[in-house]
A = this chain, B = another copy of it.
Amino acid sequence: MELTERKFKILEAIVNDYIHTAEPIGSRTIAKKYGPGISSATIRNEMSDLEDLGLISRLHSSSGRVPSQKGYRFYVDRMMREQPLAGDEALFLQGMIIQNINQVEFMMQETAKALSRLTRCPAIVSEPYLKKTKIRHLQLVPVDERAVLLVLVTDTKAVKNQVVTLPDAPGYDVLARLSQALNKHLVGKNVREIDRTCIDSLLEVFGPQAHMLMPLLGIVAGMIQAEDDVRVFTSGVKNILAFPEFSDRNKADALFQALEERESLMSLFAPIANASSSRKGIQIVIGDENDFEWLKDCSLVRAGYSIDNQSTGYIAIIGPTRMDYAHAVSVLTGISQNIRQVIQALSGGNA
């Protein structure tokens, strides 16, 4: 779709205005902003064309125009300009790299908070997805006669733990041997690398007491395979109330509900099938393009954050389709870089 320079500018004016005011834009308003060289009547003609193209629409016959979903998509793909973070925003992010953060959980929560504060939208952050994370250490901690706590440390210093009940009561020596064997064979591997070969050689080494090993292996596999174990953090959910498009109780309700449920939050981080743009690693899904009913009135802007250039977790915000995409993109870019720095610091690594 090609537009004349003037139509392009008019569409841009409509989108920008509507993003900030949530009010339909009339021809006269644009004529004034666009400069004295053009009359409102001309703008009206142009707007009529834009409407025919499906880029803008009207709420009723005599209202101003609002961008359509197609219009937003056009804007995001073709018109949105890169926007540097405002000075105070950049400073805010600087301050976020707090020293002595040694709990991934805390860092995630703080990230979500920063994200929602800067964008004024609900923010969702998922912790690093273990699938691509390596096991750094495994430890068995006795809890009960037959129960042990299996602690798994990843290379991002995230810690998972689960109590496992063993078939026999393991002596101290057996526990030590189990620990050693698990570490020897599993440390340094990610999920893909824990395959049949690996497990077989582990069982072989352990010989007669292999039956003690099995439940542990199951749990280790479960802990890293199951997406279930990835924690998701939200912040600023109430921000949706500030958008007039959610003043309808029912719409807000559905969103709130979804944002409280882990399952629906995880679905935000699924691969995106529908049309969406990916620019500098930022994906934008607008309105109907979303797969889930509760998101049809919203747009999702998300980014993966990465360690050593491997994507391992997601940050995202949700807002009305009218949201300030350009600003969202710059904030997400900034924050995902931030996380990378912090995680690298955490894992004590040199990038």
Q: In the complex, which of the residues B142, B161, B249 contacts A159, with contact meaning CB atoms closer than 8 Å?
A: B161
Instruction: Give the CA-CA distance A136 to B144 in the complex, in Å.
Output: 9
- Indicate with 1 or 0, residue by residue over A225-248, a CB within 8 angstroms of chain B CB atoms: 000000000011110010000000
Nearest-neighbor residue (CB-CB) of A137 within chain B: B141
Complex CA–CA separation, A196 to B241 (angstroms): 52
Give the segment of A31-39, A252-260, A331-339 that binds chain B: A252-260
Question: Considering the chains assembled together, what is the distance between the CA atoms of A249 and B242 in angstroms?
Answer: 8
- Residue-wise interface mask of A (123-138) relative to B, using a CB-CB cutoff of 8 A (1 in contact, 0 not): 0000000000000110
A241 pairs with B260, CB closer than 8 A = no
Which residues of chain A have a CB within 8 Å of any CB of chain B?
102-103, 136-137, 139, 141-144, 147, 149, 151, 153, 157, 159, 161-163, 235-238, 241, 249, 252-253, 256-257, 260, 348
Interface centre among A153, A235, A236, A253 (most CB of B within 10 A): A153
Q: Are B136 and A139 in contact (CB under 8 A)?
A: no
Chain B residues with Cβ below 8 Å from A237 are 237, 256, 260
List of B residues within 8 angstroms of A157 by Cβ = 143, 149, 163
Most chain B CB within a 10 A radius of its CB, from A238, A252, A257: A238
User: Inside 8 A of A139's CB, which chain B residues have their CB?
Assistant: 139, 141, 151
B residues in contact with A257, CB < 8 Å? 238
Q: Which of B103, B235, B348 contacts A144 (CB 8 A)?
A: B348
The copy count of this chain in the complex is 2
Residue of B102, B163, B252, B253 near A163 (CB, 8 A) is B102
- B-side contacts of A144, CB under 8 Å: 348
Q: A142 near B137 (CB under 8 angstroms)?
A: yes
| Pairwise interchain contact A159-B149, C-beta atoms closer than 8 A | yes
Chain B hits for A241, CB < 8 A: 249, 252-253, 256
Closest CB of chain B to A255's CB: distance in Å? 9
**A-B pairs with lowest CB-CB distance, top 9:** A238-B256, A102-B163, A139-B141, A159-B161, A144-B348, A151-B151, A137-B141, A149-B153, A143-B153
Closest to A141 in B: B139
CB distance from A138 to the nearest CB of B (A): 9
**Residues in B neighbouring A235, C-beta threshold 8 A:** 260
Minimum Cβ distance to chain B for residue A190 (Å): 18
Q: 12 A-B Cβ contacts within 8 A?
A: A137-B143, A137-B149, A143-B157, A147-B348, A149-B153, A149-B159, A151-B161, A159-B161, A238-B256, A238-B257, A241-B249, A241-B253
- Residues of B close to A236: CB separation below 8 A: 260
A224 to B262, alpha carbons, bound, how many Å? 29
